[in-house]
């Protein structure tokens, strides 16, 4: 069983930055694709980014391309989401998720098996 814990959310002004962390425990996350998703009030959960088990493949939603960067530190069993140039429309609860698959970056949320509890990101002046 893989456990995921997100951290790093908070309140930030438009144009600011945050770095979210997704710490895995219970298993090594080396064999898992990790995805970041977000859900704003009254909206469906949407994909933000994913990274393959090797870290060589990443995918970003069009809405965050050029502003967000996903990365993973295998030694720390942690995946990061660096978020720059934040906008009010980025406000949401951010979740990380994992699925055991090698060599692929899984973008479809329905394929993910393990989920964290979420961390709130609020972008407001």
Q: Average pLDDT per run of 10 along the chain, which is 125 residues long?
A: 95 98 85 95 96 94 98 93 98 97 88 96 97
In this prediction, residue 30 carries a pLDDT of 75
In this prediction, residue 1 carries a pLDDT of 84
Q: What are the tokens at 63? A: 């809405």
In this prediction, residue 28 carries a pLDDT of 74
In this prediction, residue 9 carries a pLDDT of 97
In this prediction, residue 27 carries a pLDDT of 76
């Amino acid at each position: 069983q893989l456990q995921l814990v997100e951290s790093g959310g908070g309140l930030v002004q438009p144009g600011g930055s945050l770095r979210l962390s997704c710490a895995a425990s219970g298993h090594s996350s080396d064999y898992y694709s990790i995805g970041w998703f977000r859900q704003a009030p009254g909206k469906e959960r949407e994909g933000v980014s994913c990274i393959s088990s090797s870290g060589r493949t990443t995918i970003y939603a069009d809405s965050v391309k050029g502003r967000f960067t996903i990365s993973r530190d295998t030694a720390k069993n942690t995946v990061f989401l660096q978020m720059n140039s934040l906008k009010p429309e980025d406000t949401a609860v951010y979740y990380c998720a994992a699925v055991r698959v090698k060599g692929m970056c899984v973008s479809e949320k329905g394929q993910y098996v393990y989920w964290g509890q979420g961390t709130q990101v609020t972008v407001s002046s």
